[in-house]
Amino acid sequence: MSGGRWNYRQHELKELLQDVAFYMRGSEVCPELSKRLDNLAGVLYDIIHDLDWHFSGDTSIENFDKFESDAIQKLIKAVKNELVD
């Protein structure tokens, strides 16, 4: 493995968003925003992970049109606070 294009740092973004969402829930502020940040954390992690591995040469995204379309749909679902696959 190469170390990733961005050194596999997508987990830092995920952890930050989850921490912010957790803090917001504990402070009882912006509950809807908190849910969406929590949803976005996992979705953004997955998207950046796939891009990280692609650009580092660890794996290959075969169809960028499909990847982009799927990624955008997952982001929309997360923002709408729907269940994300």
Query: For position 1, what pLDDT does the model report?
Result: 53
* 75/42 Cα distance (integer angstroms): 10
Question: What is the residue whose two structure tokens read 């987990």?
Answer: 11
Query: For position 22, what pLDDT does the model report?
Result: 93
Query: For position 3, what pLDDT does the model report?
Result: 66
Query: For position 61, what pLDDT does the model report?
Result: 95
Q: What is the pLDDT of residues 23-78, one digit of tens each?
A: 998 889 999 899 899 999 999 999 999 999 899 888 899 999 999 999 999 999 98
Q: What is the pLDDT of residues 3-32, one digit of tens each?
A: 678 877 899 999 999 999 999 988 899 998
Domain layout of the chain by residue ranges: 31-85
